[in-house]
Copies of this chain bind each other. A is one copy, B any other.
């Protein structure tokens, strides 16, 4: 019988999904900084027989732009390997004939260049950071409250993330704000949405039990992946806080110091330990 616990389960893995911010690098001024050992760890995973994808709630830039940033930081990563919420959202808009009012980061706007935004009948919020001004949030609120059937899409539901100068409020906080203001429930596109994880697994051609998610966000990375039937490992980098290890409902399959350590264990189990 296959070992389903950590680290033994690594022997039967066929793919790994990595979160980006807080696992590969810490964001901040300029491109941010790579987390020690992570560039080499990604390289080693790529050289292994494991499928590798990157699943992120990054919405401050187009996919092309932030992949270019990761490449500048030294990561071997390409656009087709990366799954962010914006492209998934555009597919949903087309499917349902929706025209969005956008409250997102300036850097994300080009993703929506080809999308009809006239006479909006839904609102999309991303990690808008400084664009989450009172005036902009009020404008999004007025669009929603003026709709007969208000629809709010939130690109993720994170509480906060860590930049080099400290913790920053994430999109989930503003999602809750608008949910309360308009008495509605947002539709989350991005982690921990099961359809979002499933789209990555489909691209890998794997079943959930064949894949492992590694992230710094206990609820959205680890809990979301586990909910889909994957293993979920938390790293003690990025937004990790010691209290995560005492969370009442989400228990990671393992908590490791960083990505380099996780990859050591996984590849160690598969190579020498087989």
Interface residues of chain A, those whose CB is within 8 Å of chain B, are: 128-135, 137-138, 141-142, 145, 159-160, 166-169, 172-174, 176-183
Contact = CB atoms under 8 A, between A and B. Distances in A.
24 contacts: A128-B134, A129-B134, A130-B133, A130-B135, A132-B134, A133-B133, A133-B134, A137-B173, A138-B167, A141-B167, A141-B173, A145-B160, A145-B167, A159-B180, A159-B181, A159-B182, A159-B183, A160-B181, A169-B177, A172-B180, A173-B181, A174-B177, A176-B176, A176-B177
Nearest to A182: B159
Report the 5 A-B pairs with minimum CB-CB distance, sorted nearest first. Answer: A176-B180, A177-B177, A132-B134, A173-B177, A173-B181
A129, A160, A169 interface centre (most CB from chain B within 10 Å)? A169
Secondary structure at chain A's binding surface: helix, strand, loop or mixed?
A: helix
Nearest to A140: B169
Nearest to A174: B177
Nearest to A146: B167
Copy tally for this chain in the complex stands at 2
Contacts of A133: 130, 133-134
A183 B250 CA distance: 15
Given A176-B177, A180-B172, A180-B173, A130 B141 contact: no
A170 to B, nearest CB: 8
Nearest to A158: B181
A35 to B, nearest CB: 21
A142, A168, A172, A173 interface centre (most CB from chain B within 10 Å)? A173
Contacts of A183: 159
Contact of A169 (B128, B141, B169, B172): B141
Nearest to A136: B134
A70 B58 CA distance: 48
Nearest to A129: B134
Contacts of A174: 177
Contacts of A176: 176-177, 179-180
B180 A137 contact: no
Given A130-B135, A131-B134, A173-B178, 10 more contacts: A132-B137, A133-B133, A137-B173, A141-B173, A169-B181, A172-B181, A173-B180, A174-B177, A176-B176, A177-B177
